[in-house]
Structure 1
Amino acid sequence: MKYRFSVPTAAAVGVLAAALLVPVQAANAVGHTLTIDAGAVLRPVTHVAAGGLYGISDASTPSASILQPLSLRQHTQPPPGVQQLGNGATTPAGDALKVASTVIATGGQQYIRMPDIYPDFPYKWVSWDDWLQKVNKMVDDRLAAGSTTNINGWEIWNEPDGTWDTQKAGPYNDGWTRTYRAIRAKDTVTPIIGPGTTIYNPSFMRSFLENAKATNTLPDVIVWHELSQGWRDIDEHVADYRALERSLGISPRPISINEYAWPDQVDVPSAALHYISQFERTGVHDAERAYWFEAGTMNGLLYNGQPTASYWMYKWYGEMAGNMLPVTADADLDGIASLDSTRKITNVVFGGDYGDNTVRVNNLTGFGSTVKVVLSSTPATGRAVNVAAPTTISTQSLPVVNGSVSIPVNGMDARQSYQALITPVNGPTTATQQVYEAENATVVNADIRTSSSASNGSYVGGIDGTADMRSQSFVDFTVNVPAAGSYNLGIRYANGTGSTATQGLAYNGGAWSTISYPATGSWGTFDRSVTTSVTLKAGYNVIRLAKGSPGFAGGTGFAEIDSISVTPR
């Protein structure tokens, strides 16, 4: 459900807006309270819903510099040789191999949507010979790109419940099996994702999974779209899918929602935030903004190359670090929150209701008896209006009573989004972020694990792969420094091999050096660090720690990464 001619009429959008988007403002609205538990952990910050479909059109559009503050996690891009002309485009855009440098520079990964090799939508089926020839060519082109990393999935088809030509191509389940085997005949490594339906459809999903299990063609990532049904049923869809997996004896798959939000929602900050809130609390692996507008605008976050109102809400989201916190909605007032315990920052992004409301943070420890709260907002001006910056509403000191702080937010507009940034009264412990948790970074072919010994409760292990660009293992840290110069890079690690292990270190695509990790007591226990120096540019830098990566022959032994610190020399 994307591309220009899928967009509803203006009248239909108006109906949807009334039904799905903005609550009615009562004459005497009763205030609501959004409750955050700062003493619990929902999950590590991974910016689950930061990404898009066709968000990047070429290697410089949008520029990496304007995307880096968003901490983009996952993209879905068209295949090498794309012919799709979506949303009024006159030339194909978004070729996954051509945009890979921007994806990597902004800390993301990308799925390749294979059927967008066709020029039309809905896709016009030609023949099986034609399709399999196209599949083989797409896979060959990817395999030939030996220096391109961060491609983490083949999406076999898009919206098969509406775009698969059963009359000409036969049943979709048979088509899935045949295409899956064609990919695996050439590429046994890259994950395969599906089925990619327009909505969560339990009967379609059951039939699909039963066939995939019987034919040994189960997808590595399960994907469907959350569009016209809105955000309210996402939790039920995820729960139903997990129950279906269990009933069929299928091990849990990561869930991707690689298109979310209807046209009247995707560029209204509070509406997009409702989706993000659901994705974070339901344990979805990744979610991508739907492609309703021109390619290369991050799906409306940019207009004429500059931020819209929604950009700033995603920037607040992108600035989250540490752990996501449990958030309890009240009526339509909902949001997301994080705690960076290193810098002492609680970041709450919220919205969705009118009137005078309250944000209450419980179990807030280590911030002192009084906290500083900076309250900001971003408007709901849509995708064709540039917004230079959020609006600061107030800066105030509020008491912490029995571990709780209550923040009044008066005169809220249900369409806007808001941020409450809570710190000790003198501000964060450091002016800029200096400690970066590995579990918050881009983790490629490795695992996020938990340990009480880890600085934030989680770390990255299984950094083991060295074979080629599809299976090499590394962690990409996107760090932001205030000035160009030399910095100390500290790496907190564990090495239970009994002897020294090594990894490769490179930053901003530069030359490789080798990091040595002397043996530690055991795996998952972090009481040692190694330090080296790096020369960074002002602003954003990508630091890669790798067991294997293009241009690096491969490390020796094994090491787990808890965090890095980047401090001026």
Structure 2
Amino acid sequence: MLPHTALTALLIALTFGAASPAHAAGNTLTVNVGTTVRPVTHVAAGGLYGVDTGTTPPLDQLYPLHANTFTQPPPGTQQLGNGATHPCCDALGVAGKVTNAGAQQYVRLPDIFKTFPYNWVSWADWESKVATMVKARVSANTTTNIAGYEIWNEPDANWTTSTGGNAGTYDAAWTRTYKDIRAIDTTTPIVGPGESAYNHAWMLDFMTNAKNTGTLPAVAVWHELQDQSYQNVQAHVNDFRAIETSLGLAHIPVSINEYASTGQVDQPSVAVHYMAAFERAGVHDAERAYWYEAGTLNGLLYNNQPTASYWAYKWYGDQSGNIVQTVPQSWLDGVASYDASRKQVNVVFGGDSGSNTVRVTGLGVLGSQVKVTLSRTENTGRHTNEAAPVTVSTATYTVASDGSISVPVSGMDAVKAYQLLITPTSGVPSWQQTYEAENATVVNANRFTSTSASGGGYVGQIDNNTDMRTDSFVDFLVNVPTAKTYTMAIKYANATGATATQGLAYNGGAWSTVTYPATSSGWGHPTGQASVSVNLKAGYNMIRLAKGSPGFSGGTGYAELDSITLS
């Protein structure tokens, strides 16, 4: 939930419960490698107040998670959550770190207040605060990756309490504040409503008012905070989609910007349940709840070192290519990916105890034999570090004539998380060389599917170079084995009939220009290839290809991006 006092946290813990049952054994998780769900974007990798300034957390611990989105307090925040003695995590203060990690962030405006429920004063005070916060963002002319303003947090539960019933209805407040923001900033998205728990009638009223007043959110936001709320995600998304359809509205992205209860947020297998639920439901982004210490990636780090849950998110962060279909049984569930360029299937799973099975189909693409490495986390909670996951076994499996293998997993713990990493027995690249644009951080552009694109997807509509709020670019977080000069081959499409250009910068360095000659195969058919040299450090590097970006005068023409390959 939003940062709150320790007493509120205790009350919620008592209400929602704390422990998962020890589930029955003998179940099978089925992974269908040949059935693509969506591109890998690490939907569940993010948090509320997950990032602070300085080394809390260190970038080296952030990089492997491939974080998607954070929700952070506004510039000038006074919020003292969970017994904190000083405010933290100002969105503009942490913006550089968030961007360097390849993530985006929402700015939660009501966290300008010191307490929760919020210590509302008056409309004049609130509108003055909104103007100051929005102007601060507009003035931050080198700050990118601000994905939107969140007008209020949990209005269904605290609007009346916070305002003493003297500020009118929340629907009217949303409309008024929305227009206040737009009077200053006409472009940054506005997201909401931020329900504490999804409710059909409340959401229908909100969306109806937003439609009638011309104040529709760019992203729909609500929380999933009860024990095992992951069971409700699909139904809630389906219900919201039905509301949009009933109102004649286009479907907008969905953000679950707080998830997991106090008792379950630090259980590795529960994190896996949420990952699987969000991927299946088509959620755009999801952020772990802030129940305890800020700046710890929401409990994934203790003293800036990994806890057990960190490794579940690290495995999830290692996924690339496409999310593929998983079919759970009972409480055994997981999320899986297949990367054709890496020749790798990565299954992160958990939820049951005893002896269970993971059956993987569609493995003919990896050959007749595969290497299978099984690993697991411990269940150490929030205040115990786990230096590395445990390698349980490594074995060679013969792929059956139907393209499947069945891997028995004995002695499972219902709270721990597990990983199966499946590769061919030979011919596996020693490091990831090809990075798909659709897996990267896409800002003010869009992902598309195409059978002629590598991995089945590409990024198009990289069109804007107006200012830092609307600039279009793609950020590739790459990991290389040694520091040296690499050749970077860029696959692209340019159907303008004339040469196009984009800016190239990496690790915050100087800008250069990439030239894309026209291609003849049309949009969505990336047959062009441009090659440039990049000087990269060992480990993680951030590479930006941009139509527009701070410090870059802007590209010319238009080009779509398919992938980059380092060699």
Structure 1 counterpart of 2:119: 124
Please give the secondary structure, in 1, of the residue aligned with 2:365. Answer: coil
Please give the secondary structure, in 1, of the residue aligned with 2:47. Answer: coil
Contact residue 125 and residue 168 of structure 1 kept, 8 A: no
Letter of the structure 1 residue corresponding to residue 411 of structure 2: G
Structure 1 counterpart of 2:85: 90
Residue correspondence of structure 1 range 17-416 to structure 2 within 5 A: 17-18=18-19, 21-25=20-24, 29=25, 31-165=26-160, 167-228=165-226, 230-401=229-400, 402-416=402-416
Letter of the structure 1 residue corresponding to residue 64 of structure 2: P
Contact residue 13 and residue 262 of structure 2 kept, 8 A: no
Structure 2 distance, partners of 1:546, 1:366, is 34
Structure 1 counterpart of 2:518: 519
Contact residue 103 and residue 145 of structure 2 kept, 8 A: yes
Structure 2 distance, partners of 1:498, 1:9, is 63
Structure 1 distance, partners of 2:556, 2:232, is 48
Contact residue 342 and residue 429 of structure 1 kept, 8 A: no
1:478-535 deviation digits (Å, cap 9, x = unpaired): 0001111111111000000001100000000100000000000111112221101010
- Kindly tell me: are residues 11 and 283 of structure 1, through their superposed partners in 2, closer, same or farther at Cα, counting changes over 3 Å? closer
Cα offset for 1:94? 0.5
Q: What runs of 5+ residues in structure 2 fail to find an aligned partner?
A: none
Structure 2 distance, partners of 1:260, 1:488, is 41
Letter of the structure 1 residue corresponding to residue 182 of structure 2: R
Cα offset for 1:22? 2.7
Structure 1 distance, partners of 2:83, 2:58, is 22
Please give the secondary structure, in 2, of the residue aligned with 1:168. Answer: coil
Letter of the structure 1 residue corresponding to residue 194 of structure 2: G
Percent identity, aligned pairs only, is: 59
Contact residue 271 and residue 312 of structure 2 kept, 8 A: no
Please give the secondary structure, in 2, of the residue aligned with 1:516. Answer: strand
Structure 1 counterpart of 2:550: 550
- Kindly tell me: are residues 247 and 76 of structure 1, through their superposed partners in 2, closer, same or farther at Cα, counting changes over 3 Å? same
Cα offset for 1:16? 2.1
1:80-117 deviation digits (Å, cap 9, x = unpaired): 00100111211110000100111011100000000000
2:10 to 8, 13, 20: 8
Cα offset for 1:10? 10
Structure 2 distance, partners of 1:51, 1:5, is 25
Structure 1 distance, partners of 2:7, 2:211, is 36
Structure 2 distance, partners of 1:454, 1:24, is 42
Cα offset for 1:60? 3.0
Cα offset for 1:324? 0.1
Contact residue 376 and residue 390 of structure 1 kept, 8 A: yes
1:402-431 deviation digits (Å, cap 9, x = unpaired): 2001111011000000000000013x6211
Contact residue 364 and residue 399 of structure 2 kept, 8 A: no
Structure 2 distance, partners of 1:539, 1:71, is 14
Q: What runs of 5+ residues in structure 1 fail to find an aligned partner?
A: none
Contact residue 227 and residue 260 of structure 1 kept, 8 A: yes
- Kindly tell me: are residues 11 and 539 of structure 1, through their superposed partners in 2, closer, same or farther at Cα, counting changes over 3 Å? closer
Cα offset for 1:11? 7.9
1:312-339 deviation digits (Å, cap 9, x = unpaired): 0000000000000010000000000000
Letter of the structure 2 residue corresponding to residue 305 of structure 1: N
Letter of the structure 2 residue corresponding to residue 445 of structure 1: N
Structure 2 distance, partners of 1:392, 1:498, is 53
Please give the secondary structure, in 1, of the residue aligned with 2:118. Answer: coil
Bigger mean CA deviation after superposition, 115-124 or 363-372: 363-372
Structure 1 distance, partners of 2:23, 2:323, is 30
Please give the secondary structure, in 1, of the residue aligned with 2:156. Answer: helix
Letter of the structure 2 residue corresponding to residue 72 of structure 1: A
Structure 1 distance, partners of 2:98, 2:153, is 21
Structure 1 counterpart of 2:562: 562
Contact residue 356 and residue 412 of structure 2 kept, 8 A: yes
Two-structure CA RMSD over aligned residues (Å): 1.2
Structure 2 distance, partners of 1:266, 1:66, is 19
Residue correspondence of structure 1 range 420-439 to structure 2 within 5 A: 420-426=420-426, 429-439=428-438
- Kindly tell me: are residues 174 and 51 of structure 1, through their superposed partners in 2, closer, same or farther at Cα, counting changes over 3 Å? same
1:158-204 deviation digits (Å, cap 9, x = unpaired): 00012213612110000000000000111111110000010001111
Contact residue 473 and residue 546 of structure 1 kept, 8 A: yes
